[in-house]
Structure formats: C-alpha cells, structure tokens
Structure 1
C-alpha cells in the first residue's frame, strides 16, 4: 500500500504574489511556508520541494516606520543602525530577504531555498512564461 517517493518525480510550482500594501510579517510567513513545502501534500522536512516564488512591487510593502535594521560588527563602535525607510529606497530586496531567511532553519537546504526566491521592484520588467499560481494574502 505504501509507495516510496522519488525526488526526481516532483515538479515545481511557480507562485506569483503582488506585494503592494501587504504587511511584511504576514507576507514573509506565507512565502516561507510555500518555499519549505508545508502546503504540499508530500511534505518532508529534509527535501527541497523546488517551489518557486516571484514577488512583484517589493518597494511598496507596508510596515510601521519605527522599525530599524541593526548590524553589529563585533568591534567597539561597530553598531550600524539603518531605518527601514532608508533601506526601502536604496535596497528593498534586503528587507524581504532578511525577514524570509530569518524564518528558515539554518541547514544545507537554506542555500537551495534561497535560490527559489525572485524579487522584483516595479521598475524591473518581469516575463513569466510558465503556468503560475497567483497568490492572495
């Protein structure tokens, strides 16, 4: 009755999500659950399900203005604080990647899962040829 699952027989699914006026935390938890494969019937924590996520309009994410990104180098006076407004103008991809990768376990699959995230601002042109699933939050 039981059948073995083979990694080669899994086909990836392509998900597209528009990030305009979406909250950062809810958006990143949805993306992590898709990338890990928790919405898949055959969920196994030691396999990469190869689900791919395309995120559009990253620079229009909604967040509270009090948030700050803190980086500490380990040296005295090496703490650097940047506001999210500054990062949103200069590097909006860093905000989402930091929140998504912070929710994934630190193991060998994290590098493979990171390759399945595609982030685009509204200035970049995106061409999607495959069949995709449109997500709503």
Structure 2
C-alpha cells in the first residue's frame, strides 16, 4: 500500500479579518510597498496558498509624507490615458503627490499584486489615506511597524 507523504493542508475559511495600520511617514516607497504587498498576498503565514484570498486588511496613513530616493521627485512620471485621441496626461511625482498622494502608494502596490481576479480582490483590502484620519477605528486596527 502506497502512502502519499506530500499532503497539502488547506486551511478552512475563517470569517476573522485582521486589520493592520501602517504609518508611511518618512518611509521609502519601494520598500514599504513590497512589504505591504507581501502581507496582502499572505506569504507571511504558514498556511499560504497562492490561489486563496487572505483575510488581512491594511490601512496606510500619512501617504503624502512618503519618500523616494535619488532624482525621482523630478524624473518619475505617472501616465494615464482617457482612451480618446490626444488623451494622454503625464505628471511627475511632485505634482501627483500634491494632487492625489494616495495614488502613488496604490499604484506601486497594485503593480506588485497578481494580475487576475485574486489580485483585484486583494487590492480592495488596501485603504490609503493622506493624513492620520481614517474611518476604520471601529475595526480596532493594530499598529504594524515595518522596518
């Protein structure tokens, strides 16, 4: 009789969602976004399964105080297109940080998530706010220090 020793354990779905709050003040954009994407995907748990959604919600505060290294403040560009002829809009980091500071972190993290329905559902679990004010105090988020 053959016994298969390579048994995969799949955890049963729990309705317990964990809320974490991360302060982006004086953090580097790339390092912060990779750690947040790692947490959203759930690779920090031993029950990680690549095709299952994680039950973690992350709140990022102080997004307008994010740092980037080098000359990227002047050189990094963000493009969007309306789909119409001549509808390409280009702005650099400083302009976008003054207008919509949340979009910078959201775009960086969304690029690191899977490009499928799982990635789109994981992105919905991320909330980004430019200040320390957020409407999720009822969920009692725990402060997470990232290094």
Match of 1:105 in 2: 114
Q: Which moved more, 1:126-135 or 1:20-29?
A: 126-135
Q: Given the alignment of the two structures, is residue 29 of structure 1 paired with residue 29 of structure 2, yes or no?
A: no
Q: Which moved more, 1:45-54 or 1:70-79?
A: 70-79
> SS of 1:96's equivalent?
helix
Q: Which moved more, 1:61-70 or 1:24-33?
A: 61-70
Q: Greater CA radius of gyration, 1 or 2?
A: 2
Match of 2:129 in 1: 120
What TM-score does the superposition give when structure 1 sets the normalisation length?
A: 0.85
What TM-score does the superposition give when structure 2 sets the normalisation length?
A: 0.79
Shift of 1:116: 0.7
Equivalent of 1:52, from 57, 81, 84? 57
Number of aligned residue pairs = 137
